[in-house]
Amino acid sequence: MKYKSQKVAYWFFALSMLLLVLQIVYGFVMGFARIGLDNLHDFIPFNTARAVHTNLLVVWLLSGFMGAAYYIIPEEAQRELVSVKLAYVQLISLAVVGVVAIVGYHFNYWEGRKFLEIPRPLDFLVVANVLLFLGLILVTLFKGKRRTTTALVLSMGLLFAALLYLPGMLPFDSQVTDSFFRWWVVHLWVEGVWELIMGGILSFLLIKLTGVDREVIEKWLYVIVGLTFLSGVLGTGHHYYYIGVNKIWLIVGGIFSALEPLAFLAMALFAVNMYRKGEKKHPNKLALYWTLGAAIVSFVGAGLLGFAHTLPQTNLYTHGTLVTAMHGHLAFWGAYGMIVLAIISYALPNLTGRKLYQSTRGRAAYWLSNIGMIGMTVAFGVAGVAQVYLERKFGMDFMQVQGEISVHFVVLILCATIFTTGIVLYVIDFYKHGKPNDEALEQTID
Ligand code: HEM
Ligand code: HEM
Ligand SMILES: [Fe+2]
């Protein structure tokens, strides 16, 4: 059974695609600047490009999560969204806040706190937007016929993500306190509540694509939620090692963050096992690829590459270097980028009626983007390790080191080109699916 209001999801996905492409443009601006081709410097200096690149990342992912929720919640709750009109109001206001923030950065209206650069007055608009979104989702869920674990975990993730935005809005004079609470947003998002969002979407997709019983799939989901909270909350300590707070965090952060990969391992095992168990042959193989890919690549990018620099002994040397960028790229891509592309790949044929998942283009998009991103990760990693040795072990001057490692950015740009080719193919596929319509929804293959 499908619901007409699920069509709203399409427009959130479309916004998401647009912002992803823009994010990549700013990535290239930085990549070229790193090899000395910094002709845009007067208009887009590196710090602006960096803030725009990472903020666009967060907004395209959030837009993707919101689209996912608008698609999944009606189906799980078995009723239409309470108000489609308000959902469109929310969509437009999200786009407006995004555009105002991005344009503002180019005129130097920004807070210099990594990932939370948007000026505090705009924060209130974000809060209003997210409240409207949550209202629509939660009321739909509670008025619905069913409250599934999948829907509850997804909504809890979204609700907690909104609540955790608030500590980031408190103004502090002390750099230490400011940094302490900044991590409540940045860390507890990606290594806490966003994992619930990912788990919820993953569970929905596995139910649809493998045909394994909901009870079995949702049992795994409990395990993942448990492991996430057990490790992720105190794992925040891996950002508190040397920022000027109590030394207890060296031990607490070290131990608990070292356990964090378990949640991602569980997610990968979960997906692969359900795939093996599944007897259903759902025709949308492409969505299945993206789903399994998200579970596996997130384990590598977040779990393994996160672990690589999470112990205090290592982090002392690697903190804030390109080692962090190496991990940041593959973790964000694997966990959140790929899960958004997975739900889009699943939902789009149902919303539009065009079943393009047989096309070579879709498969090429999958492989090129993943191979490209793995190459980029290696390039960042080699640059990062070289940077750590030259700068932190041998004491070479910061800028001199940046010159020494610029050659790795040539490799980065090559791999980023492969990645981008994949994304462009994905976006072409998206466009070719056409617009959502009611007749198509009725013919959904479940
Ligand atoms: C999907 C999940 C994850 C994502 C998206 C992610 C992303 C990121 C990003 C973007 C940063 C840089 C943050 C900043 O400097 O403001 C970061 C830092 C860090 N991450 Fe992750 N991460 C994830 C999971 C993990 C896990 C599971 C671990 C540990 C096992 C980990 C360990 C670290 C450490 C130690 C840092 C600090 C690096 C430094 O000191 O510069 N991450 N992560
Ligand atoms: C063609 C594509 C891309 C290029 C050329 C690119 C390049 C870059 C560069 C040069 C930086 C700054 C590193 C530094 O401080 O020197 C950066 C930061 C970052 N990019 Fe990308 N990027 C691309 C795509 C992506 C994608 C698709 C994602 C996420 C899925 C992503 C996530 C990030 C994150 C999280 C950071 C901040 C890392 C940190 O905190 O250390 N980028 N990117
Ligand atoms: Fe963290």
The pLDDT of residue 281: 83
Instruction: Indicate if the pLDDT at residue 180 is higher than 70.
Output: yes
Assign 405 to helix, strand or coil. coil
Q: How many helices (H) and strands (E) does the chain have?
A: 19, 0
Q: What is the pLDDT of residue 110?
A: 86
pLDDT tens readout for residues 268-285:
999 999 999 998 789 999
For 80-108, the pLDDT digits (tens) are: 999 999 999 999 999 999 999 999 999 98
How many C-beta atoms lie closer than 10 Å to residue 229's C-beta?
15
Q: How far apart are CA 104 and CA 281, in angstroms?
A: 49
Q: How many CB atoms lie within 10 A of CB 305?
A: 24
For residue 1, what pLDDT is reported?
A: 59
What is the structure's pLDDT at 279?
83
What is the number of the ligand closest to the CA of 330? Answer: 2
Asked if pLDDT for residue 258 goes beyond 90, the answer is yes
Amino acid letter at 386?
Answer: A
User: Is the confidence at residue 260, as pLDDT, over 70?
Assistant: yes
Q: Residues with Cβ < 8 Å from 389, sequence gap 6 or more?
A: none
Q: What is the pLDDT of residue 163?
A: 96
**What separation in angstroms does the CA of 200 have from each of 74, 197, 222?**
14, 5, 10
The first and second tokens of residue 14, run together, are 């479309």
Alpha carbon distance 84, 62 (integer Å):
19
Mean pLDDT of 106-133: 91
pLDDT of residue 229: 96
- Compute the radius of gyration of the chain from its Cα atoms: 21
Per the structure block, which two tokens stand in for 209?
């694509």
**CB 91 near ligand 2, within 6 Å:** no
Apex 153 CA angle, 93 and 325, nearest 5: 70
Q: Which ligand is nearest to the CA of 64?
A: 2
Answer whether 176's CB lies under 8 Å from 226's CB.
Answer: no
- The atom of ligand 2 lying closest to the CA of 114 is 40
Mean predicted lDDT score pLDDT of the chain: 96
CA of 325 to the centre of ligand 1 (A): 9
Q: What whole-number distance in Å separates Cα of residue 327 and Cα of residue 309?
A: 9
With bands split at pLDDT 50, 70 and 90, how would you rate the model's confidence at 445? confident
Q: Which residues surround ligand 3, an ion (CB under 5 A)?
A: 187, 191
Q: What is the CB < 6 Å shell around ligand 1?
A: 114-115, 186, 190-191, 238-239, 257, 260-261, 298, 302-303, 306-307, 309-310, 315, 319-320, 324, 327-328, 331-332, 335
- What's the confidence (pLDDT) of residue 420? 99
Distance 329 CA to ligand 2 centre (A): 6
First to last CA, the chain: 8
How do residues 2-58 score in pLDDT, each as one tens digit?
899 999 999 999 999 999 999 999 999 999 999 999 999 999 999 999 999 999 999
Q: Ligand 2 centroid vs 377 CA: distance in angstroms?
A: 10
What is the pLDDT at residue 393?
Answer: 95
Task: Compute the average pLDDT of residues 208-235.
Answer: 97
- pLDDT per residue over 308-358, tens digit each? 999 999 999 999 999 999 999 999 999 999 999 999 999 999 999 999 998
d(CA 38, CA 29): 8
Which atom of ligand 2 is least distant from the CA of 57?
Answer: 29
